[in-house]
Chains A and B, each alone.
Chain A
Amino acid sequence: MNEPFALSLEGLVVRHGDACARCTRNPDSFQRNRCPDCGSIWAARDISLRVREGEILGIVGESGSGKSTLMRALYLDTETVSGSYYLKSYRGGEEDVFKVNPRKRKHIRDHLLGMVYQNPHSGLRMPYSSSANVAEKLIAAGNRSVASMMGRTNSLLTHIEIPINRVKEPPRNFSGGMQQRVQIAKAVANNPPILLLDEVSTGLDLSVQARVLDLIKRVQREFGVTMIIVSHDLAVVRLLADRTVVMLDGRIVEQGVTDQIMEDPQHVYTQTLVNSLL
């Protein structure tokens, strides 16, 4: 891979359910993404995408369009039917990371990818202290020095504006916005070159959402991280993303420079989506 792609995904297929003869042979023979015969859901149908280093890619689409499935696949967190996935930061993009053994997969997840979930409960251990949550990631990456971990943890948490006298508190004591920021600190703890953000600002009130988005922009600027941001909020994507991908029923129906997707959408679904903006 000579081109400067941080990440390259080809022909991803993810299915929930056992599938039957009909949908294995011809997954396009039915509407939407559910096989009427066996009820299998084809959550990702032949998804390919490439992201350049330092780029922010936005992914939009309605609930059930496969956005989170795609993110889980990118985080090596779901079974795939087919597809290949290359990371520049892993062996220069020479090896399909869908095919690596579990030990290497763990290494990739701990060092090369950061994930922030919509629900802080998915990304944080609520009863443990916030600093322990961040330290967990550092330990996973092989750090064994308490002093260096304390230093890194405290600097990360102060960076995201968690008061130093509260870093020992468990995230369950925190507001939604604070929890989300702790999750971001945890995700970037090992300076991963790629950060995956799944609906991170959804459900937060406006001013809190603003601080989370500012934090994301700052992280991107300061560390030059490549980001993939899923949101059903077009304004968030418009604010952050260089390019945008539109998903529907497990497929990419349109992609382009973000302002082109928003102002001159070419697909019927994108037009409906854009025209639904308040």
Chain B
Amino acid sequence: MLAVKNLRKDFTMFICEGKKIPSFGNVSFEVGASSLLAITGPSGAGKSSLLKCVYRTYLPTEGEILYLDRNGGTVNLAEADDWVILSLRRNEIGYVSQFFHAMPRVSALDTLIEPLITRGGDAAEAMDRASEMLSSVGIGKALWDMYPSTFSGGEKQRLNILRAVITKPRLLLLDEPTASLDRGYKERIMNMILALKEDGTAMLGVFHDRDALTCLSDARYEMTLGEYCEIDRELFL
């Protein structure tokens, strides 16, 4: 579903006299439906940058990111036009960021149903699904009409994941989704991710957490601090 070919990202810092900061290079891999490829490697190897390139928050410097869309067409996310990217984000590609950016003055429930509504979903149905999901990860009714900016780190992170999972994306990018969760919630979130994967979603994830890595991933892609990265196709579990 996703094929990354010779991807490279450098940052050019014009404000520091055009200094070039290489982030990563020579990255190639494929991710199929119903599977999760874990990106591993030390801090600073470019794992999050890689995810951001796939989501097009970063513009790749070189290489291709070929995505097979719902209609069977291939889109190169590295250079597709902005409207194509926006429409894929709305309808097919989800992203769970490392840090949750709460929409100001939007309640938790509205934050969660918003992606469904913008896809043209039915409001009542969306509300039902959202309430069910919030309850299942231990965010009680009392919190639903509150602003997520007042939430604890763990609550924010759970909401962040739900927001990406609720639309059942075809491709899901996960950046440390379980980082600030305690054991109980971590398990429920992992089960949710596993269920989505079984349903056909292709996933690309960054995990520092050992349990999440072994439990969720089907293959690993190791990034190193240098230029070159290697794939390690080894099945866990």
Chain A residues at the B interface, C-beta cutoff of 8 Å: 52, 55, 210, 214, 239, 242-243, 255-257, 259-260, 263-264, 266-268, 271-272, 275
Q: Which secondary structure dominates chain B's binding surface? A: mixed
State whether B57 touches A239 (Cβ < 8 A). no
Residue B82 interfacial (CB < 8 Å): yes
Question: How far is A266 from B83 in the complex, measured between Cα atoms in Å?
Answer: 19
**What are the 6 tightest A-B residue pairs by CB atom distance, in nearest-first order?**
A268-B14, A264-B58, A259-B57, A257-B82, A271-B14, A263-B57
Residue of B with least CB distance to A270: B14
Q: Which of B11, B15, B58, B103 contacts A275 (CB 8 A)?
A: B15
State whether B15 touches A272 (Cβ < 8 A). yes
State whether A271 touches B52 (Cβ < 8 A). no
Q: Which of A210, A214, A239, A243 contacts B86 (CB 8 A)?
A: A243
State whether B58 touches A242 (Cβ < 8 A). no
Question: How far is A260 from B82 in the complex, measured between Cα atoms in Å?
Answer: 10
- Given contacts A239-B104, A263-B58, A268-B15, 5 further A-B pairs with CB under 8 A are A210-B104, A243-B86, A260-B56, A260-B59, A266-B59
State whether B15 touches A214 (Cβ < 8 A). no
State whether A263 touches B82 (Cβ < 8 A). no
State whether A260 touches B83 (Cβ < 8 A). no
- How many residues of B are in contact with the other chain, CB < 8 A? 17
Residue B85 interfacial (CB < 8 Å): yes
Contacts of B129 in A (CB 8 A): none
Chain B residues at the A interface, C-beta cutoff of 8 Å: 11-15, 52, 56-59, 82-83, 85-86, 103-105
Question: How far is A271 from B19 in the complex, measured between Cα atoms in Å?
Answer: 13
State whether B86 touches A242 (Cβ < 8 A). yes
Contacts of A256 in B (CB 8 A): 59, 82
Q: Which of B11, B14, B82 contacts A243 (CB 8 A)?
A: B82
Taking the nearest CB of chain A, how far is it from the CB of B169, in angstroms? 17
Q: Which of B15, B56, B104 contacts A257 (CB 8 A)?
A: B56
Question: How far is A239 from B104 in the complex, measured between Cα atoms in Å?
Answer: 9
Q: Which of B58, B104, B105 contacts A260 (CB 8 A)?
A: B58
12 contacts between A and B (CB under 8 A): A210-B104, A214-B105, A239-B103, A239-B104, A243-B82, A257-B57, A264-B57, A264-B59, A268-B14, A268-B15, A271-B14, A272-B14
Q: Which of B13, B56, B58, B105 contacts A210 (CB 8 A)?
A: B105
Q: Which of A210, A242, A260 contacts B57 (CB 8 A)?
A: A260
Taking the nearest CB of chain B, how far is it from the CB of A207, in angstroms? 10
Question: How far is A271 from B11 in the complex, measured between Cα atoms in Å?
Answer: 11
Contacts of B104 in A (CB 8 A): 210, 239
Taking the nearest CB of chain A, how far is it from the CB of B93, in angstroms? 12
Contacts of B12 in A (CB 8 A): 266
Residue of A with least CB distance to B11: A264
Question: How far is A263 from B58 in the complex, measured between Cα atoms in Å?
Answer: 7
Contacts of B103 in A (CB 8 A): 239
Contacts of B83 in A (CB 8 A): 52, 55
Contacts of A263 in B (CB 8 A): 52, 57-58
Residue of B with least CB distance to A243: B82
State whether A257 touches B11 (Cβ < 8 A). no
Question: How far is A36 from B2 in the complex, measured between Cα atoms in Å?
Answer: 53
Contacts of A275 in B (CB 8 A): 15
